[in-house]
Structure 1
Amino acid sequence: MSAASASAAPHAGGDRFVDLPAGPRICYRVEGPAEGVPLLLIAGLGLDLTSWPRPMVDGFVDRGFKVIRFDNRDAGRSSRMPAPPPGRLRQLLARPRPDAYDLADMAADAHGLLDHLDVDRAHLVGMSTGGMIARTLAARHPGRVATLTSIFSTTGNRKVGQPAVSALVRLAKRPARTVEESVTRRLAMLAHIGSATLLPDEAQERAWAAALWDRGDGARRHEGVARQIGAVQASGDRTGELRRITAPTLVVRGDVDRMVHPTGGRATATAIHGARHVEITGVAHHLAPAVLDRLVELTTDLARAHGAAVTAAARTGGAA
């Protein structure tokens, strides 16, 4: 066990914390059989570990995975970083602050969490910005990554994967000041970037958005989102780094994504040697209920094809 283990402490609701040597305090949860196959889920921009839908987490546990979720730095209950957030003009012009952290720093947090949990190799699943973090980890620490699943993400090349102007305009709005306003904004954004055919569960989305406000420092949550945007922008074009990835890779994207244009998925799959590219009709920038089983099966098939002893055994409900 790493030296950082001594600082870990449980929290009601399954949250645990570890102070990493690199600085941030990371909040995480582990579910599934103690001897299960480690699977690390990495959330997207401004999202916390609860953004992974319960049926998806349960689906992985049912198949014998030990599922690890965590709040990235500047999200959920993990540390807020001390640097000032970039202003909206910097974000729109893609000019990060000189003191911005980058995707490599966020990948180092994930690497530190694996060290803390004594996980030698894990299957990685990342969505959107989480996909960028997962790929950075896979490129820089290939021995720690068994397989990689990247969901609606992109390379950093400005010629591909760019958000629609309409999505940028919505992101650039002044921050929400109350939980009610934040929930309304979330549902409006989801109506814009979500699928017209694979619909969300509005009641669940409303409840999740309210909980996200509580876990994410409320009215100051936008500062963490801005710093994460700065991290992506500070990392530039990662196409060259993607060519260093050796882990078996699955790239999943939808065909109607207003937040990350489908060209980003194609460019990602092209850059990673041997990557399998799967386009799901009707999928946008949201883990809609109707697509969760497909994502679980695609990831499980990838892991099984490369030696993981995953099964369809009954869920134990245990936690490590």
Structure 2
Amino acid sequence: MPSIATSHGITINYQDEGPCDAPTVILIMGLGAQMTVWPDAFYYGLVSNGFRVIRFDNRDTGLSSQLEHCGRPSLIKAWLSRRLPISSSVPYTLEDMCLDVLELMRALKVKKAHLVGASMGGMIAQLLAAKYKKKVLSLTSIMSSSSAPALSRSNVGLLFKLMRLKPAAKSQEAAIDYLVKLNQLIGSPGYPQDEQILKQQARLSVSRAHTPNGFKRQLIALTNSQSKEHLLGKIKAPTLVIHGLADPIIPLAAGQKTAQQIHKAKFKVVPGMGHDFPPELMKKLTKWVSKHIKKAEQKRLKKK
């Protein structure tokens, strides 16, 4: 896969498919997830629907820059620093990750784009749509929120389960086993995936890149991000919010609130969907997102 270098010395690895003169769609992935987590059925489905589609590895993920010089900051200290007068280093912010997207657009000569963000990627897309309105033609926010997820009975229980799952060894096999169990915990109860398929996907992911320290740095960027609720009213781009009814990490209410705060946003609930991309739902999601983008394009052309 090709890559670009930003003015801040960050290398961003990306994939760019579809006609260069077609409407451009940029997919922004979530916390600790490589661009390959976007299902091929969804990615190439958008391409076959007539779009130029770009997906990329966020900084500290996949084949993009690993900021190991930033060390392994303490998650507990970073969390306490928001509530107590304790100093804590924050390697970077979600705003910095927004700038990575803008630099990728500039390098690929994309003046304006339709943004599709998942989870933390949805938060980045929301920031871009609010602060850089002229760059964003439409916004699709999937399984996301306008602020760092609040602690609830369900996700606190999930957090403790994830802590117990943490691999004791640093081997590839331990990392693969962790990813399988993680995906089983956050997955869609209405669309359970076969364990062998999850293991195969995990093996491909770990062999491509394994960045546990990068995950921690991204998590600190996420937890230290200010609420974007006050910015959502500034979003003018046509917006579609998609959320799973069974999401164990970001509750349905968070997606609903995001849609309510963005002017004329459309909200679609997916029964049985958790915090993942079940293969059975990719045809439906591709259809929804394609229709949303095409309507935004028609509206833009009418204005012209």
Instruction: Please state if 1:31 is matched with 2:22.
Output: no
What is the distance in 1 between the residues matched to 2:226 and 2:101? 20
Q: Once the 2 structures are TM-superposed, how far is the Cα of residue 36 of structure 1 from its aligned partner? A: 2.1
Instruction: Name the CA distance, whole Å, in 1 between partners of 2:148 and 2:186.
Output: 21
Instruction: Note if 1:190 corresponds to 2:176.
Output: no
> Scaled by the length of structure 1, what TM-score is found?
0.85
Distance 1:37 1:97 in 2: 42
Query: Residue type matched to 2:285 in 1?
Result: L
196-205 vs 263-272, greater mean Cα deviation: 196-205
What amino acid is aligned across from residue 123 of structure 2 in structure 1?
A: M
Q: Do the aligned partners of 1:49 and 1:70 also contact (CA within 8 Å) in 2?
A: yes
Match of 2:243 in 1: 253
Structure 1 position 108 matched with structure 2 position 99: yes
- Report 1:171-320 matches (<5 A): 171-173=162-164, 174-175=166-167, 177-216=170-209, 218=210, 221-307=211-297
Alpha-carbon displacement from aligned partner over 1:85-139 (angstroms, at most 9, x marks no partner): 3324236658593333111100110111001110111111110011111111111
Q: Give 2:302's aligned residue.
A: none
Matched residue SS, 2:224: helix
**Cα shift at 1:265:** 0.3
Are positions 1:43 and 2:29 aligned together? yes
Give the TM-score, by structure 2 length. Answer: 0.89
SS in 1 for 2:297: coil
Structure 1 residues 209, 97: CA separation in 2 closer, same or farther (over 3 Å shift)? farther
Specify the alignment match of 1:84 in structure 2: 71
Other structure's SS at 1:164 match:
helix
Moved more, 167-176 or 41-50: 167-176
Q: Percent identity?
A: 33
Q: Equivalent residue for 1:156?
A: 147
Is this contact kept in 2: 1:249–1:276, CA < 8 A? Answer: yes
Q: 1:197·1:282 contact (CA, 8 Å) conserved in 2? A: yes
CA deviations on 1:23-52 (whole Å, 9 max, x unpaired) are: 211101111223222110011110111111
Bigger Cα displacement from structure 2, 32-41 vs 61-70: 32-41
1:69–1:272 CA distance, 2 compared to 1 (3 A): same
Q: Secondary structure at the match of 1:306?
A: helix
CA shift, 1:308, in A, is 5.2
Greater fraction of residues in helix: 2
Query: Which blocks of at least 5 consecutive residues in structure 1 are unaligned?
Result: 1-14, 310-320
Query: Counterparts of 1:232 and 1:71 in 2: how far apart (Å)?
Result: 16
3-state SS in 2 of match to 1:297: helix
| Aligned residue identity for 1:87 | S
* Greater RCO structure (CA 8 Å; 6+ sep): 1
The answer (yes or no) to whether the contact 2:2–2:13 under 8 Å persists in 1 is: yes
Q: Which amino acid aligns with 1:79?
A: S
How far apart are residue 16 of structure 1 and its match? 0.5
| Cα distance in structure 2, aligned partners of 1:17 and 1:306 | 29
In 1, the alpha carbon distance for the partners of 2:79 and 2:163 equals 8
1:91 and 1:226 in contact (8 A); partners too: no
CA RMSD of aligned residues (A): 2.2
SS state of the match for residue 33, structure 2? coil
AA aligned to 2:249 is M
